[in-house]
A = this chain, B = another copy of it.
């Protein structure tokens, strides 16, 4: 078997220690802030207290006079720059960015000025002395209100004509239909429901932070906690109108991102301050600032109207998705699209329709967040699946089994929703859904408990719920990664990648792939990722792409290096290159003769035909093989308090070959806990004037380790032909399950259907006590003027 197809692994599929484990455990790991820079100034931002207000004038004269203040900037110094698709690729352009400073305040937290000063105190004093003359405007906070005629127009910029429908605050549209029969003509049962997800935030423990200094040649040195160093370089250059070559972006260790660091939030303004002050500047957001003025998960209002035959065949799937972008349109199109493109293909239906709208409101700005629309979509879909099964009188598990997509199948949705690019004729390669369900059912003892909980009475009632889901592995024909490997004379290797480890363990996973090809241990691979001057390009860490796309790039580069090693070893061993294997740090010939890789390294550096063994390679995917997962939740609902407790949770996941099982489990564990927290407690709350009411971990509750219910991740191995050594993605999918699985379990326990997470005691109790079996959401949103597609 060729090394690239091997399945008998030495390093891959083993839970080797993270390459940065020791550093993280010992506290020596260097994050953005772990650097000493002489003369470093503090940068600070001034935020709008109004949700919608015209800025008549900003007076900075007094602020500039504060001792120790070296720079004060407003939108006049650093105006917003329109995104443009030309030459930018991903992350997707949105009509209006908010990467600079705003000329009109569009939400409470919009950035109106920036200062740099010798001390934090002087910076604060400068902020306190900036006088902004605001003309307060009417604001709109509700997604569905914002698209109504007569709603305040949030984007009235001169070039707002480029917005699909600025007058109705519609930032992006995407519709499609695949129709093979009359709509609902074959359905025995039709279910039509509205779902609404909440404002939530990533809560990476390391806040947004950037340090801009100058290198010896005067180039900007941007040390930043980012998922997208190469995009940070490109976008900073564009916002500041500087040549790209005058910027170097360095990504140190990152303390979590989850999508929040996929945007170039602070780099341009920090660089502008450094250039104005001619001194290095650091901006680090507090937790409050992060909540108020960074990025959120997009709340969605989703309508699902679905039909099925009595035998359980799904016939029709109509989905309307209203995605709330907040005040600016970051990731507006793609997040909205993913709510359909990752969910609709899950089950095959004759007729499928998607109507997507991304909507501006005077709220904080939505951005990329683990799950990226699929999470919101699956809450609706997998809730609806249980409702339909109930109406059909079918077992929800069997109903799903009957309909979900299988290996070898395509979906018209893949093509129609190829994310606005050329349609992707994708067919499912690996699919471990059958085993995911079987293992999950067994792990949670589904059937046994179902029987046990059949006729419950009493205050506390238990229930079981499940949810199936899929995600992608990067964006085909869009996401590109490159890697470069050089050999040292001791048989160790430097692996340089644009890929960005934001705490996911991708440095380790990618080093394992290289080590597997090169027949060495993980300690023989010295990883550098990522630095725009030093490492090859990579679109960045998002869309569950790193293992799949960067991993393929690393594998290709390693294969090229391997070939060079074999050529040298062939001479040393007097064998043909094709007869040599690399294993255990040695080149082993067919004859049994072998030599250490250090001999190969030494020979190539110092003896014969001297050369540096080295290669680079790029990879762009032609498919985005979905990982699959089935989640099973067991809950206990206190019918007196409305409290929901998760008693057990089994999260199976098919991520192909787990390159590092422990890390894959860790990724899934994290996603599941994140999802449980998102289902039960997390929600950004706002005052009627649009100010966030709970911008701290005291008010915004994320599940910590202490809060974690018993839960387990079960890896279901498959082998994905397109992935490096069979791997698919794993990082996002796990967050899609808890909301619907828990909602279904609550329904199972107490017969109450919840459409609006988080499932707080108030909501559960309210719904339990309500006289109707449906929430007010159904009637409230149902009264809205139907969109053109909503019949």
Contacts and interface: CB of A to CB of B under 8 A. Distances in A.
Interface of A: 19-20, 22-23, 28-30, 36-38, 86-89, 214, 216-219, 234, 237, 243-245, 253, 477-478, 480, 482, 484, 486, 488-490, 492, 494, 496, 498, 523-524, 526, 528, 532-534, 536-537, 598-599, 602, 605-607, 609-612, 614-616, 618, 620
Nearest to A30: B216
Given A36-B38, A88-B606, A534-B496, A490 B243 contact: yes
A526 B609 CA distance: 29
Nearest to A90: B606
A748 B489 CA distance: 55
Given A38-B36, A494-B534, A87 B218 contact: no
A524 B244 CA distance: 10
Contact of A610 (B217, B480, B490): B480
Nearest to A532: B488
A216 B253 contact: yes
A18 to B, nearest CB: 11
Given A28-B216, A245-B524, A482 B614 contact: yes
25 contacts: A19-B217, A20-B216, A36-B36, A87-B489, A87-B598, A88-B606, A234-B489, A237-B490, A243-B492, A244-B488, A244-B492, A245-B488, A245-B523, A245-B524, A480-B606, A480-B611, A480-B612, A484-B614, A486-B616, A489-B537, A528-B534, A536-B614, A537-B605, A610-B620, A612-B618
Contacts of A482: 611-612, 614
A599 B87 CA distance: 8
Nearest to A477: B610
Contacts of A490: 237, 243-245
A23 B216 contact: yes
Contacts of A37: 36
Nearest to A19: B217
A414 to B, nearest CB: 20
Given A480-B605, A490-B244, A536 B612 contact: yes
A654 to B, nearest CB: 28
Contacts of A523: 245
Nearest to A248: B526
A216 B620 contact: no
A282 to B, nearest CB: 15
Contact of A244 (B486, B489, B496): B489
Nearest 10 pairs between A and B by C-beta? Answer: A89-B606, A482-B612, A611-B618, A480-B610, A245-B492, A87-B602, A244-B490, A536-B612, A610-B620, A23-B216
Contacts of A38: 36
Nearest to A616: B614
A214 B494 CA distance: 18
A533 to B, nearest CB: 6
Contacts of A598: 87
Contact of A217 (B22, B89, B484, B611): B22
A598 B602 CA distance: 39
Residue in A214, A494, A533, A611 whose Cβ sees the most chain B Cβ within 10 Å:
A611
Contact of A616 (B243, B245, B528, B615): B615
A526 B216 CA distance: 12
Contacts of A253: 216
Contact of A28 (B89, B218, B526, B532): B218
Contacts of A537: 486, 489, 605, 612
A533 B528 CA distance: 9
A218 to B, nearest CB: 7
A87 B606 CA distance: 7
Contacts of A88: 606
A550 to B, nearest CB: 12
Contacts of A528: 533-534
A288 B266 CA distance: 50
Contacts of A22: 217-218
A131 to B, nearest CB: 37
A545 B532 CA distance: 30
A391 to B, nearest CB: 47
B534 A534 contact: yes
Given A244-B489, A245-B488, A488-B244, A533 B494 contact: yes
B489 A217 contact: no
A522 to B, nearest CB: 12
A168 B686 CA distance: 91
A399 to B, nearest CB: 41
Nearest to A611: B618
Contacts of A36: 36-38
Contacts of A484: 484, 486, 614, 616
Contacts of A611: 480, 482, 618, 620
Contacts of A237: 490
A528 B234 CA distance: 20
Nearest to A38: B36
Given A22-B217, A22-B218, A610-B620, 18 more contacts: A30-B216, A87-B489, A88-B606, A89-B605, A244-B489, A245-B492, A245-B524, A245-B526, A480-B605, A480-B611, A484-B614, A494-B533, A528-B534, A534-B534, A536-B612, A610-B618, A611-B620, A612-B618
A347 to B, nearest CB: 32
Nearest to A24: B216
Nearest to A233: B488
B606 A612 contact: no
Contacts of A616: 484, 486, 612, 614-616
Contacts of A28: 214, 216-218
A534 B527 CA distance: 10
Contacts of A536: 486, 612, 614
A612 B38 CA distance: 35
A530 to B, nearest CB: 12
Contacts of A478: 610
A217 B605 contact: no
Nearest to A481: B612
Contacts of A19: 217
A217 B20 contact: yes
Contacts of A524: 245
